[in-house]
Structure 1
Amino acid sequence: MANDGVNGPVNTGRRRFLTATTSVVGAVGAGFVAVPFIKSWNPSARAKLAGAPVTADISGLQEGQRLILEWRGQPIWIVRRSKAVLDALPTLDGNLRDPNSENKEQQPDYISGETRSIKPEVSVLVGLCTHLGCSPEMAAEIKPEPYDPDWKGGYFCPCHKSRFDMSGRVYQGVPAPTNLVVPPHYYADDNTIVVGVDPQGAA
């Protein structure tokens, strides 16, 4: 009983100390866990910029060349087409699934015709096949190809053999169901394209 009288207060003090210490350590630990969890609620800098417009200087873009940008995590192809390619576009209508771009989900309302562009010589496309999202290869030259002996220039997806012309219009009889997407864009001046924003006054 004497020992109880001596050790009782000591044990109680230790218990209080250990309880307090455990609570503090637990609270600190919870704090460390909570910080990344709370931070995960905030969008990252990359996420904030993901939907922002991107600007490109195309003054040095030569015929047959392609400039690749990234917008919303997607590759954007800006291609300067030759006169020969532009002249060939109307001759392909009979080979295409949607030659008049009637599927309005694939391009803004201000994009129409066989060029599917604001300026005929400059094409702006999302570089993802509309079948399974692969990235097609560009074959801009008018010359026979293994997949088409009468090739007039365009894009070929080696994954599943889908083909598109130089305006991104899909051929008939391939897995891709629709034309390549034309993103919203406008010209800030003769040599500057802004991708991700419609022109002023566009519907």
Structure 2
Amino acid sequence: MSNDGVDSGKRRFLTLATSAVGVVGAGFVAVPFLGSWKPSAKAQAAGAPVEVPLDKLEEGQMVKVEWRGKPVFVVKRSETVVDALKNTTQELKDPESQNIEQQPEYVDGVTRSIRPDVIVLVGICTHLGCVPQHLKETEVDWGGGFFCPCHGSRFDLAGRVFAGVPASKNLQVPPYSYQGNNKIVIGVDEGAA
């Protein structure tokens, strides 16, 4: 077969036009496909830092917020409670909070907080994952704290687990920081804020 009657310019144009249509079509397919990999707005909000105002939180009061699908307890403690935390160490499994996986480096070992008057804890029992109840120091004879109704684990108001209960670890302290004196940001490490 001879190429005498073939218009090479027309052939080149048709080849380029077909290629361009193919690239545009592939783009129309690829954009929604790649967009489906992005997390939804709900998923982004679930992992976002959570701000907790402290100005209306009174001594002994607890606020529960959700961060990354987990309950987080924020409790304002009195000076009496903070002083009592130092005297209950013999009754605890890990009184100095030596298990560093349970808390950031920047929190104090005894109070397990940046400021002694406010504690921030992930509200999930370290035994089987139930949500403990907050009990004020005036409501129980063991100084108050958190009680897991599932199997009876008790935690003091620093989230430290008592000896002789099913839970083996202290309640986890999430990463958090202060914005001024009256606001906590859960999910942002101290110093990174």
- Output the TM-score relative to the length of structure 1: 0.75
In 1, Cα distance between the equivalents of 2:150 and 2:57? 28
Q: How far apart are residue 177 of structure 1 and its match?
A: 0.9
Q: Find the partner of 2:143 among 152, 162, 184.
A: 152
Tell me which residue corresponds to 1:18.
Answer: none
Q: Which residue of the partner structure matches residue 188 of structure 1? A: 179
Runs ≥4 residues deviating over 3 A: 36-42
Task: Tell me what 1:102 maps to.
Answer: 98
Rounded to whole Å, the distance in 1 between the matches of 2:144 and 2:105 is 25
Q: Distance in 2 between matches of 1:39 and 1:161?
A: 47
- The residue that corresponds to 1:76 in the other structure is 72
Once the two structures are TM-superposed, the CA of residue 199 in structure 1 deviates from its matched residue by 1.6
Residue in 2 aligned with 1:57?
53
Instruction: Map Cα deviations across residues 39-95 of structure 1 (whole Å, 9 max, x no partner).
Output: 764422111122211111110100110111111001111100112211211111001
Residue in 2 aligned with 1:166?
Answer: 157
Q: What residue is the counterpart of 1:138 in the other structure?
A: 134
Alpha-carbon RMSD across the aligned residues, in angstroms, is 1.9
Percent identity (aligned): 56
Whole-Å Cα distance in 1 between the matches of residues 84 and 118 of structure 2? 15
Letter in 1 for 2:149: P
- Maintained 8 Å contact 1:85/1:142: no
Q: Specify the code of the residue in structure 1 equivalent to 2:182.
A: N
Q: How far apart are the structure 1 equivalents of 2:151 and 2:35?
A: 41
Asked if 2 retains the 8 angstrom alpha-carbon contact of 1:68 and 1:75, the reply is yes
Question: TM-score scaled by structure 2?
Answer: 0.78
Task: Name the larger-Rg structure.
Answer: 1
Q: How many matched pairs?
A: 162
The residue type equivalent to 2:69 in the other structure is G
**Structure 1 unaligned blocks of 5 or more:** 1-35
